[in-house]
Amino acid sequence: MVSAGFKTDRGRRRNNNEDSLFVLPGHGIYMVADGVGGNNSGEVASRTAVSYVAAYVERHPLSEVSDEEQLKKYFMSCITETNEQVYRLASLDCENAGMATTLVVAYVKEGRGYVVNVGDSRAYLVRGDQILQITRDHTYVNELFMQGSISAEEAKHHPERNMITRAIGGEKTVRPDFFRFDLFSGDVIVLCTDGLFGELEDGQICQAVQLQGSMRELAGDLVAQANEHGGKDNISVICIRI
């Protein structure tokens, strides 16, 4: 039995919320997006992305996907079409020019978890007292870290740590990452925007998971803690217990 809870908040420093989230528990689909762009364009980009993915899943039932290779192709096609949709909207309206969004989508089915992502919104897996970041941030700073040019501590405080290198709608084409992992009873998947992990260490996220049984209360607690630590950005969280 899978249970889920979610929460989104504009934070303490922002006037509006450019994050979006969407859950389709009947399909095992959960997603979070963090929009970027002037005016309200970031909100338009993130909302368009999650809505299009949801519509794609409704049009193309996942029950018809028979193996993991097909599943990967399914999500690659879904993300490609979503990128085209956001990119087209950005090119049609000058007010939305340059808008884009991160996107992380989780699919849970029969003891397996699948995650596809673009940008720096994250998926974590918490098992007992251990937390693992499933996704890799598509950011300039993470590229420097992976190359060994800077340390993990330097990456945390780098002035360009929020500069993303891949985004939905940022270019005509997009390269999502795809991950597959086994799931066991009691595991918790946490999807979140950088408004959460920008304020809380991974260990603090893990501790919150251990202390909260309800996924709805966990999502609310994580958002509250992020705000208590500064709330400098919009905060969105989806928590899924297996």
Question: Domains in the chain, please, with CATH?
Answer: 3-241 (3.60.40.10)
What's the predicted TM-score (pTM) here? 0.94
Pairing relation of β-strands 177-182 and 112-118?
A: antiparallel
Coil/strand/helix, residue 7:
strand
* The pLDDT of residue 213: 83
Count of CA atoms in the C-beta half-sphere (13 A) of 162: 12
Name the residue type at position 223.
V
* The pLDDT of residue 153: 60
Rounded CA gap, 42 and 125, in Å?
27
Summarize the confidence of residues 83-109 as an average pLDDT. 93
Contact (CB, 8 A) for 121 and 42: no
Chain segment 5-16, per-residue pLDDT in tens: 999 999 999 999
Other C-beta atoms closer than 10 Å to the C-beta of 182 total: 9
Chain segment 227-238, per-residue pLDDT in tens: 999 999 999 999
Mean pLDDT of the chain: 92
Name the residue type at position 29.
I
Rounded CA gap, 85 and 80, in Å?
9
